[in-house]
């Protein structure tokens, strides 16, 4: 019997290998993120002051929506071809499987979104001084969404309209991440310290990190 | 209903296809006796409470007659939160003891909870326009109650989204427990953040901040609405038990006919 850490690493490696072999999925999320950010200048006009005022919230909302895109296939493909059953038999507790999936989702969706953040921030005329805060806030917020989204994906696995239901369940819970993430970027843009808001985001992440995989694992066990 | 239905799997002895509903049967008998009294009590208390609140209680010295919105708004807010607590407790019971009645109760509770939360938001909005000058502000109390509303709706939708009712019940129970993190946020949002919404005036340590002329009709209204809410949820749960019973009976008849035709 393999140890749990080895199984965890194997699931994570499998997620990364799958993402590398289908780079289009990751690219689609990143392109979606940049495109949504590029829509705002057309909607509110290209004046840099207006855009910069809007940028923090727009970045957060666009990143969370983009990170939602691959979630409805997070467990779906594995459930269809039976590999989810194999994973559940691997000796790793279901919560561990969910944690590996969440980490894999963040590495294959959250990190690429971070790489695209400077481009999106430039499109939205965000002042350069706020870019580090934007990266920090997006890193934490997408990590929270990966965890919440994993729980949501496990809950809606096998549901009739799972793809529609998933955002309905996950986005209300992600509101605090948007509030504090946007507040951190706004503070940095106004030459204030973004640290308190980043710390609150970190608190949210440390709350979600143990609880979301447990909930996802409980939902997977019912499958 | 297909052959892989959980009811078919859970009823291995065809002569007694209803044996797992034995306990819900007792529930039906007991609740059938309680329900008329509960509904009558709700109507009586609400009649007294609403008449007292809307006609005989004094108008507020500052807010005038608009204060009467409170007699609906505050009970709805209490019910929205108390109902969610009941949902979470029922969900925990359903997850731990696999009690089918707790599943049905949770399933029938969430649409009623969504309605009272929507009424809380709507009456609050109607009250906010004359008092605050705006229908809606994004302060912490209003936002967290809006999230509570989405949780109720999400639960109602998730429970009904599966072909197997038991899978939906389990997913809904887990979602209900996840959503519990929102309850303390709703309760303490007025203390943690500087909100336009006033802090708690009734449920605070020491004397309530309301005069008895306003407090007593409010408490009577709250009791009346709580009784009405309980009656509605009880009636819905009874209907759900009977629906499930009908489905089990139909399934049993279909299997009997299949067996009769097979040889």
Distances (CA, A) of B157 to A166, B151, B247: 11, 10, 21
Tell me the count of A-B CB pairs closer than 8 A: 59
Cβ A156–B168 below 8 Å, yes or no? Answer: no
With a CB cutoff of 8 Å and minimum separation 6, the contacts of B257 are none
Could you tell me the pTM of the whole model? 0.82
Cβ A155–B161 below 8 Å, yes or no? Answer: no
Cβ A156–B154 below 8 Å, yes or no? Answer: no
* End-to-end CA gap in chain A: 23
Q: What are phi and psi of A36, to 5 degrees?
A: -60, -45
Q: Which of A196-210, B46-60, B140-154 has the lowest mean pLDDT?
A: B46-60
Q: Which of residues 162-191 of A touch B (CB under 8 A)?
A: 162, 165, 168-169, 172-173, 175
- A155-183: b or e for each residue (b if 16 or more CB lie within 10 Å)? bbbbbeebeebbbbbbbbbbbbbbbbbbb
Calculate what percentage of chain B has a pLDDT beyond 90: 35
Tell me, what's the pLDDT at B153? 93
Cα torsion angle, A210, A215, A221, A223, sign: negative
With beta carbons under 8 A apart, name residues in chain A contacting B147.
172-173, 175
Cβ B167–A207 below 8 Å, yes or no? Answer: no
Tell me, what's the pLDDT at B197? 78
Q: Which of A121, A9, A151, A220 is nearest to B177 (CA)?
A: A151
Helices (H) and strands (E) in chain B, counts: 8, 0
**pLDDT confidence bin for B263, thresholds 50/70/90:** low
In whole angstroms, give the CA distance from residue B229 to residue B219.
Answer: 15
Tell me, what's the pLDDT at B17? 41
pLDDT tens for residues A93-147?
A: 899 999 999 999 999 999 999 999 999 988 888 888 888 899 999 999 999 999 9
Q: Does A38 touch chain B (CB under 8 A)?
A: no
Question: Looking at the partner chain, which of B154, B174, B181 has a beta carbon nearest the beta carbon of A219?
Answer: B174
Q: Which of B62, B52, B56 is nearest to B217 (CA)?
A: B52
Tell me, what's the pLDDT at B202? 65
With beta carbons under 8 A apart, name residues in chain B contacting A75.
none
Best mutation site among B103, B121, B152, B161 for testing chain A: the one with the most A CBs within 10 Å?
B161
Is residue B91 within 8 Å of B176, Cβ to Cβ? yes
Tell me, what's the pLDDT at A149? 93
**How wide is the angle at C-alpha B104 spanned by C-alphas A173 and B117, nearest 5°?**
40
For residue B178, give the chain A residue with the closest CA.
Answer: A215
Domain residue ranges of chain B, discontinuous segments joined by +: 36-55+66-200+213-249
Q: Which of A176, A63, A215, A165 is nearest to B147 (CA)?
A: A176
* Coil vs helix vs strand at B56: helix
Taking each helix axis from N to C terminus, what angle separates B165-179 and A195-221, rounded to the nearest 10 degrees? 160
Question: Looking at the partner chain, which of A169, A211, A222 has a beta carbon nearest the beta carbon of B170?
Answer: A222
* Residue whose structure tokens are 């990590």: A143
Cβ A165–B157 below 8 Å, yes or no? Answer: yes
Tell me, what's the pLDDT at A24? 87
* Residue whose structure tokens are 């936002």: B143
- More confident call, A90 vs B221: B221
Tell me, what's the pLDDT at B91? 92
Tell me, what's the pLDDT at A102? 93
| Average pLDDT along chain A | 88
Tell me, what's the pLDDT at B205? 52
Calculate what percentage of chain A has a pLDDT beyond 90: 38
């Amino acid at each position: 019997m393999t140890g749990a850490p080895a199984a965890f690493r194997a699931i994570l490696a499998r997620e990364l290998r799958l993402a590398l072999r289908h780079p289009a999925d990751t690219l689609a999320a990143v392109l979606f993120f940049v495109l949504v950010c590029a829509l705002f200048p057309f909607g509110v006009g290209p004046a840099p002051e207006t855009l910069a005022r809007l940028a923090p919230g727009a970045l957060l909302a666009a990143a969370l929506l983009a990170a939602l895109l691959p979630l409805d296939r997070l467990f779906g493909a594995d459930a269809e071809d039976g590999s989810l059953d194999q994973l559940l038999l691997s000796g790793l507790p279901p919560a561990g499987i969910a944690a590996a999936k969440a980490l894999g989702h963040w590495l294959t969706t959250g990190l690429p979104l971070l790489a695209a953040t400077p481009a999106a921030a430039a499109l939205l005329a965000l002042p350069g001084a706020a870019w580090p805060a934007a990266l920090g806030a997006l890193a934490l917020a997408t990590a929270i969404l990966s965890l919440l989204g994993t729980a949501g994906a496990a809950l809606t696995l096998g549901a009739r309209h799972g793809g529609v239901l998933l955002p309905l369940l996950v986005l209300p819970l992600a509101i605090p991440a948007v509030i504090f993430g946007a507040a951190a970027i706004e503070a940095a843009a106004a030459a204030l310290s973004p640290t308190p808001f980043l710390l609150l985001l970190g608190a949210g992440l440390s709350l979600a990190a143990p609880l979301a995989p447990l909930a996802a694992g409980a939902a997977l066990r019912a499958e | 209903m297909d052959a892989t239905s959980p009811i078919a799997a859970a009823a291995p002895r065809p002569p007694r296809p209803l044996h797992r509903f034995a306990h819900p049967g007792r529930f039906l008998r007991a609740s059938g006796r309680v329900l008329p009294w509960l509904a009558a009590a709700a109507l009586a208390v609400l009649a007294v409470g609403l008449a007292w609140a809307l006609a005989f209680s004094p108008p507020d010295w500052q807010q005038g007659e608009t204060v009467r919105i409170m007699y609906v708004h505050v009970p709805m807010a209490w019910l929205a939160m108390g109902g969610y607590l009941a949902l979470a407790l029922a969900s925990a019971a359903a997850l731990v003891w696999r009690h089918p009645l707790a599943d049905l109760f949770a399933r029938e509770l969430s649409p009623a909870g969504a309605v009272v939360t929507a009424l809380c938001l709507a009456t609050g909005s109607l009250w906010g326009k004359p008092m605050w000058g705006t229908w809606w502000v994004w302060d912490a109390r209003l936002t967290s109650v809006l999230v509570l509303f989405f949780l109720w709706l999400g639960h109602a939708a998730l429970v009904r989204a599966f072909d197997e009712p038991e899978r939906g019940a389990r997913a809904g129970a887990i979602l209900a427990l996840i959503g519990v993190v929102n309850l303390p946020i709703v309760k303490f949002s007025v203390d943690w953040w500087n909100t336009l919404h006033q802090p708690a005036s009734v449920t605070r340590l020491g004397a309530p901040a309301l005069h008895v002329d306003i407090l007593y009709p409010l408490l009577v209204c709250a009791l009346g609405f709580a009784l009405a809410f309980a009656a509605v949820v009880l009636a819905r749960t009874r209907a759900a038990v009977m629906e499930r019973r009908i489905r089990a009976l139909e399934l049993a008849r279909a299997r009997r006919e299949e067996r009769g035709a097979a040889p």
